[in-house]
Structures are given as structure tokens and as C-alpha cells.
Amino acid sequence: MASDSRTEVKLMEAVPVPPLNLAAQFAAIRAELLDELQAVAESGYYVLGPKVAAFEEALARYCGVKHALGLSSGTDGLLVALMALGIGPGDEVIVPAFTFFATAGTVVRVGARPVFCDVAPQTFNIDVAQAERRITARTKAIIPVHLYGQLADMPALLAVAARHNVPVIEDAAQAVGATLPDGRMAGALGRMGVLSFYPTKNLGAMGDAGALLTNDDDLLELARKLRVHGSGHTYYHDRVGGNFRIDALQAAILTIKLKHLDRWTAQRRRRAARYTELINAAGLAPEHVRPPQEIHGRHVYHQYVLRVDRRDELMAFLQQRRIGAGVYYPLPLHLQTCFAGLGHKAGDFPHAEKAAADVIGLPIYPELTDDQQDAVVGALTAFYRR
Ligand SMILES: *Cc1c(COP(=O)(O)O)cnc(C)c1O
């Protein structure tokens, strides 16, 4: 028996586990997508237009928000949100120190100052009490990030924001479909919410795309103008905007994929639960690895992120075995070279720094198989039992 199960572990380790399998997702909905791609090609309408309007309507309905505006990317969504609030030089925007770069990079691009805030160790999301302490007379927005697909503590954050009259822009790039316990959705809770449809996101285009969500009619109209160089009427410009348009092709693809999103999310959640079961059954937790905790409503597992011992060694071990694990993110934003001018040093945001040192994301996507998951946990077990 003992030698049999050892052979089994060896065999399982030979199963490569790519970080993603977008080709398999395409194969599963090939006919539907090709029909739409052909329809767009034949329509001759390639940027904005009826496919985009239809997508915006479907997305707004799905997210339970009055308006959705299709944009060129999630990054541009953050930029448009900041521009629509008139944020610029002299202003401060509070952002978590542990997130994808765009959350803070866009603040600098409009000329404002990102004010970093530590994260809560259980969820990796903004520490709301610290965010409140960092509000000043210059604070013009707070950008919580729903990292890895779990909502930040939005009820607490919205209460703080209301008390200080500071707008909240949700960076929901990783969290389409995540909900609070009461069912309200990521991106629909703040003054504006931003989604990304980068191909690796839970709802992915075949290129770059994003969206802005809001219940505010005036902000929607302003953002719509900013999307086309601040122009209401072609060639007459009320404001300086940019080219933040979304392609008709991307909108058509996303409209099809949106119909499958809840099923894909359920599959991600089943995969996440199975990872945790396998890890617990292997006796790896909590000594060597700490699985993610679902604390604030429905987690959509854009990433399944563990805290682990000897992270960099484990990462190398998994790479050798062709397991597409990833580190999201190895360096917190306050320690990035491009933000050196803000004067931060190691030790300023200890939870962000600790997360950067010990997180690892295991491959997770709807198309992942049982064998692949077994191989991943088999490799974790082999690493910690050596
Ligand atoms: C992906 C992502 C973005 C940026 O989205 P793009 O569509 O790639 O520009 C912003 N914030 C977070 C947290 C993201 O994960």
C-alpha cells in the first residue's frame, strides 16, 4: 500500500497544471462566440455602438447597478473615475499598500498623491480603521480593492466614508460577481466601481477591456464624455478626456461570457473548497500553509491564495513540477521604486509586507480538473514532507 501511494504521488506530479486554460474556456463556448465575432465583423461597427450598449445594459443588470460604461481597460476605468471626481494636484487618495499597481498608479497619473494604508491580515483588504485615521482635509477619495475576489469590509468602509463625506471608488477588477452577505455586488457599493475584463480575470475579454459602474446619473454622463476625449458632440470638447473606448468585439464576447459567469464562479468556489479539503486532509494546515478565509460574503476566487512557510523555495519547487502557481504580489506598493518620492520605508505597513513575503496563488479556474488539483496538493505535500 505504502509503495502504491508513493507511485500515485509520482504520477500525479507528472500532471502539468498551467496557470490558466483560456483555450479550454473558448472551446466550451466556441460556436456561440464565433457567431458573435462574425456578426460584429459583418456589421462594420467596430468601436462602441449597439454591441457595447447591449453589453452595458446586461452588465448593469447583472451587477445590480443603474449604469455600466464599457471602457478600454480596468486601469482606464480607475483613471476615468478619478477624472470624473475632478481629482488632481494637491489631492490625496487613500489606497491599500498591497494590491495590483494600477490602483495607485492611476492616482499619480491624475497628479494626486496616493496615501497608502495597511491591509487586514485575514483578507488582504484595506484596514478600515487605519484608512479612517489617514483621512485629511485633502482626501478626495478612498479606493478599496476587493483583492483575489473577496469584498473588502464595505459596510465599515462606507460608514467611514459617509462620516467624512469622502467618495469611495471600488477597485473591483478581481471581484466581478462577489457579493456581501445581503447579496449586493462588488462594484455597486461605492460612488463608482471599476471592473477589468483582462483575459485572465473571472470575466475575460479577448484583449483589454473594462467597465465603470455607478448609480449616479451625472457621473455616468461625465464619464461617458471622458471616454471620448471629453466630447459630448463630436469635435466639441467640454473637458479633456482620453480615448477610453471599448471595442464592439470585446463587448460582444463579454455579453456571451456574462451568461456563463455564475456557473464559472460556482466552479471556482467548488475548486477552492476542494483545495482546502485536500490541504487539510494532507495535514498541511495550519502548520505549513494557511488557506484563504471567506469572511465578507461570497468570495469569487479570482485567486486561491495561501500563506505559506518558505514561500520562495516552494514557488521554485512548484515551477520545477510545471505547476503554474503565482505570487500576487511580491513587493508592496509603498516599497516600489517609482513611489520612492513618497518617503516610505520597510516597516511602514507590516501586514502588507508580510503578505508580500508569504502569499502564493495556486492555479484556479473553472476548467481545472480533479487530477490537476491532486497534483498541486501532492506537490505541496511532497515539499513540506521532504
Ligand atoms: C487587473 C487589475 C487592474 C487593472 O485592470 P486592467 O484591465 O488590466 O487595466 C486594476 N486593479 C486590480 C486590483 C487588478 O487586478
26-42 pLDDT tens trace: 999 999 999 999 999 99
Range scoring the smallest mean pLDDT among 10-24, 94-108, 246-260, 338-352: 10-24
Predicted pLDDT of residue 10:
53
Model confidence pLDDT, tens digit, residues 74-88: 999 999 999 999 999
Contact 91, 106 (CB under 8 A): no
Residue 246's pLDDT band (cuts 50, 70, 90): very high
Instruction: From 89, 122, 300, 116, select the one nearest 195 (Cα to Cα).
Output: 300
What's the CA angle centered on 23, arms 22 and 25, to 5 degrees? Answer: 65
Indicate the residue among 212, 241, 256 that finishes a domain. 256
Model confidence pLDDT, tens digit, residues 301-332: 999 999 999 999 999 999 999 999 999 999 99
Task: State which of 82, 174, 329 you would mutate to test the pocket of ligand 1, scoring each by most atoms of that ligand within 8 A of its C-beta.
Answer: 174
In a domain, 21, yes or no: no
Counting atoms of ligand 1 from 1, which one is nearest the CA of 102?
A: 10
Q: Same domain, yes or no, for 189 and 117?
A: yes
Predicted pLDDT of residue 2:
40
Ligand 1 neighbour 99 (Cβ under 6 A): yes
Counting atoms of ligand 1 from 1, which one is nearest the CA of 146?
A: 13
Task: State which of 171, 244, 254 you would mutate to test the pocket of ligand 1, scoring each by most atoms of that ligand within 8 A of its C-beta.
Answer: 171
In a domain, 18, yes or no: no
Quick one: average pLDDT of 36-57? 96
In a domain, 101, yes or no: yes
Q: Same domain, yes or no, for 108 and 54?
A: yes
Q: Same domain, yes or no, for 176 and 311?
A: no
Model confidence pLDDT, tens digit, residues 169-216: 999 999 999 999 999 999 999 999 999 999 999 999 999 999 999 999
Contact 197, 209 (CB under 8 A): yes
Predicted pLDDT of residue 283:
96
Q: Is the pLDDT of residue 12 over 60?
A: no
In a domain, 87, yes or no: yes
CA of 73 to the centre of ligand 1 (A): 8
In a domain, 283, yes or no: yes
Task: State which of 76, 98, 198, 200 you would mutate to test the pocket of ligand 1, scoring each by most atoms of that ligand within 8 A of its C-beta.
Answer: 198
d(CA 221, CA 139): 24
Q: Same domain, yes or no, for 339 and 381?
A: yes
Contact 294, 124 (CB under 8 A): no
Q: Same domain, yes or no, for 229 and 316?
A: no
Indicate the residue among 205, 221, 256 that finishes a domain. 256
Q: Is the pLDDT of residue 141 over 50?
A: yes
CA dihedral sign of residues 276, 280, 285, 288: negative
Q: Is the pLDDT of residue 66 over 90?
A: yes
Quick one: average pLDDT of 336-363? 98
Looking at the structure of the chain, the number of domains it has is 2
The CATH number of whichever domain residue 325 belongs to comes to: 3.90.1150.10
Find the domain containing 250 and state its range.
Answer: 28-256
Predicted pLDDT of residue 232:
83
Q: Same domain, yes or no, for 311 and 231?
A: no
Predicted pLDDT of residue 1:
35
In a domain, 22, yes or no: no
Predicted pLDDT of residue 157:
98
Ligand 1 neighbour 329 (Cβ under 6 A): no
Indicate the residue among 256, 286, 308 that finishes a domain. 256
Half-sphere exposure of 365 (CA within 13 A, CB side): 21
Contact 316, 8 (CB under 8 A): no
Model confidence pLDDT, tens digit, residues 204-223: 999 999 999 999 999 999 99
Q: Same domain, yes or no, for 243 and 358?
A: no
Q: Same domain, yes or no, for 125 and 41?
A: yes
Q: Same domain, yes or no, for 285 and 246?
A: no
Ligand 1 neighbour 148 (Cβ under 6 A): no
Predicted pLDDT of residue 4:
46
% of the chain surpassing 70 pLDDT: 96
The protein residue whose alpha carbon is closest to atom 14 in ligand 1 is 173
Q: How far is CA 66 from CA 216, 256, 304, 342, in A?
A: 8, 21, 31, 37
State the chain's maximal CA–CA distance in angstroms: 78
Predicted pLDDT of residue 236:
87
The CATH number of whichever domain residue 218 belongs to comes to: 3.40.640.10
Q: Is the pLDDT of residue 300 over 90?
A: yes
In a domain, 50, yes or no: yes
Q: Same domain, yes or no, for 163 and 87?
A: yes
Contacts of 199 (CB under 8 A, 6+ apart): 22, 205, 206, 207
Q: Is the pLDDT of residue 363 over 50?
A: yes
Cell of 177: 460577481
Quick one: average pLDDT of 56-60? 98
In a domain, 129, yes or no: yes
Q: Same domain, yes or no, for 33 and 7?
A: no
Q: Is the pLDDT of residue 142 over 50?
A: yes
Q: Same domain, yes or no, for 62 and 163?
A: yes
Ligand 1 neighbour 250 (Cβ under 6 A): no
Q: Is the pLDDT of residue 364 over 80?
A: yes
Three-state secondary structure readout of the chain: CHHHHHHHHHHHHCCCECCCCHHHHHHHCHHHHHHHHHHHHHHCCCECCHHHHHHHHHHHHHHCCCEEEEECCHHHHHHHHHHHCCCCCCCEEEEECCCCCHHHHHHHHCCCEEEEECECCCCCCECHHHHHHCCCCCEEEECCECHHHCCCCHHHHHHHHHHHCCCEEEECCCCCCCECCCCCECCCCCCEEEEECCCCCCCCCCCCCEEEEECCHHHHHHHHHHHECCEEECCEECCCCCECCCEHHHHHHHHHHHCCHHHHHHHHHHHHHHHHHHHHHCCCCCCCEECCCCCCCECCCCCEEEEECCHHHHHHHHHHCCECCECCCCCCHHHCHHHHHHCCCCCCCHHHHHHHHHEEEECCCCCCCHHHHHHHHHHHHHHHHC
